[in-house]
Amino acid sequence: MSKAKSLASSAEYFDYVIVGSGAAGAILANRLSEDGSTVCLLEAGPPDHTPFLHIPAGFIKVVFNPKYAWQFSSEPTENTHGRRIPIPQGRTLGGSTSINGLVYNRGQRSDYDAWANRGNPGWAYSDVLPYFKSLEKRTGGDDYYRGRSGELPISDIDWIHPLCEAFMAGAVEAGIPRNPDYNGLDQAGVGYFQRTIDKGWRMSTARSFLKPIKSRPNLHIKTYAQASQILFEGKKAIGVTYCHPRQPASGKTVMAAKEVIIACGAINTPKLLQLSGVGPAGLLQSVGIPLVHDLPGVGENLSDHYSVRVVARVKNSETMNELVKGLKLGGQIYKWLRKKPSVMALSPSLVHYFWKSRPDLPVPDLQGVFSPASYKEGYVGMLDDFPGMTTGVWQHRPASRGYVRINSADPFRDPIVQPNYLDHPDDQLTLIRGIRLARRLLRSKPLEPYFDKETLPGELCESDNELLDFARRYGVSSYHVNGTARMGPADDKLAVVDSRLRVHGIQNLRVVDSSVMPSIPSANTCAATMMIGNKAADLIRRS
């Protein structure tokens, strides 16, 4: 008897098995269980019971907590001054939508048209726009671009701070127009972020798409269920083995009559495929994993946004640094409990600007953020002890590419994660220009009454080489990893899935998460990943 058949004899049976309950997986579970199909949703982490997962300001308590977030990090390189860059990913119901910065940002029309032009029919902007819209419950904006009746509330900021208003006025003076809806006709401009917050609460995909349907008898959600291997009969996926993360011997099996769907994210998805024998033959042989299918692109093409923050000390204004301490924090909590505007219901970044590093570019290649708050050494985690403000910047479409590769057959061992930040010379030059733009915006005339002095990188940092050294020392991940199981036609040697998200060379196996992105969107990647989950459900139901 084969191992797969032996495990099947004691398994649970479903139509679909989905591995991962994050931005895409939760939406898939909702959509595929609508018509009576039996769906098993596996989540390696715990249920989303702690209040810190639901209070927007609680992200700071969970993003570096290994109970709720995978604590991945990059390999050190000269371009990060030998540092390992933390890349946490959600590990609870809702995945990273339960711990992220709450920004809802689709990206540019050209991002998706480029996906289609790379041999992926059905992924142009006109094709994916309906799937964005059908997710949204949005007030405001143009009906052509925005959805009204979806499950995901998209709200505007209701907490207005004079520093934010002054920053935006300064951006307008610098030639960056106010843009009332960067998810509409045009992304370019400056304005307040749109957030996945409703009535003061974080609206993760678990809260928006799983909680309302948790009583469906055909939907089975299993937490503390870490997938360890995809099961195959020949080259047909038939099930998944999983176990409690703290009890490796507690292995169980779920079988899929129709499909196994991997939605673990751009790090865990290639890891699981490689552990299961799908990936580069040489890599799998080196760690002793039997080959099911040689697919060189699994784990390659890793991309991320590398962010650098410029910090200034503030005068003549109270900032969030003071509002979250002592009695003032108590006052903010009281306001939040009364459903009044409060720092408890804010995203970490309040203002966006999308602009060009060079005037000759047709569309923005930079994304910037601003907050009336500052963190020690520019790193989101611990607020400065002085009144501060921060503007961060990253390159929309970095050329640097890296990889995710297992280095052991142990499913509980983290893979090697190497994004190769700033590896490409163009990325270095674009980021230097972005830092110069960020510094100019902090020194704008409307901010003069509040600008005391720049604390990071500091007044003495001026030349291109000095700014690049600053970026290498202080830059961080934006947690937008993607591309490690990229979509593309069969003649693309590094493509892992086709345009219907089916794994090349394997039956009944799909990948549905940010890893399928052929190239990184000009945006935070969460909204695009949710769209992928929504569209994939249609692709699956039609097949």
User: What are the pLDDT digits (tens) for 87-108?
Assistant: 999 999 999 999 999 999 999 9
Of 3.30.410.40, 3.40.50.620, 3.30.56.10, 3.90.550.10, the CATH number of 158-192+306-395+426-474 is 3.30.410.40
Domain boundaries, the chain: 12-46+206-302+482-542, 158-192+306-395+426-474
- Euclidean distance between CA atoms 255 and 456, whole angstroms: 53
Q: Name the phi and psi angles at 201, rounded to 5.
A: -115, 145
Distances from the Cα of 216 to the Cα of 254, 404, 424, angstroms: 19, 36, 49
Binding residues for FAD, as ranges, are: 100-103
The closest alpha carbon to 438, from 371, 530, 359, belongs to 371
Give the pLDDT confidence score for residue 8 in this predicted structure.
Answer: 62
What value does the mean pLDDT take over residues 429-446?
98
* E strand residue ranges, 59-167: 69-73, 86-90, 136-138, 152-156
Query: Mean pLDDT over all residues of the chain?
Result: 96
Confidence at 433, pLDDT banded by 50, 70, 90: very high
What is the bridge-based pairing of β-strands 86-90 and 293-294? unpaired
- Choose between 480 and 5: higher pLDDT: 480
- Euclidean distance between CA atoms 43 and 196, whole angstroms: 22
Binding residues, as ranges, are: 100-103
What value does the mean pLDDT take over residues 195-220?
97
DSSP output for 448-460: TTTEEEEEETTTT
Task: Answer yes or no: are the C-beta atoms of 377 and 474 closer than 8 Å.
Answer: yes
The closest alpha carbon to 474, from 261, 243, 248, 311, belongs to 311
DSSP state of 59: H
Confidence at 448, pLDDT banded by 50, 70, 90: very high
Would residue 49 show up in a list of annotated catalytic residues for this protein? no
Name the catalytic one among 293, 305, 480, 504. Answer: 480
pLDDT tens digit sequence for 341-398: 999 999 999 999 999 999 999 999 999 999 999 987 756 667 888 999 999 999 999 9
Residue 1 pLDDT > 50: no
Chain-centroid distance, C-alpha 180: 23
pTM: 0.97
Q: 12-46+206-302+482-542 is classed in which CATH architecture?
A: 3-Layer(bba) Sandwich (3.50)
DSSP state of 289: P
Confidence at 181, pLDDT banded by 50, 70, 90: very high
User: 12-46+206-302+482-542 and 158-192+306-395+426-474: same fold?
Assistant: no
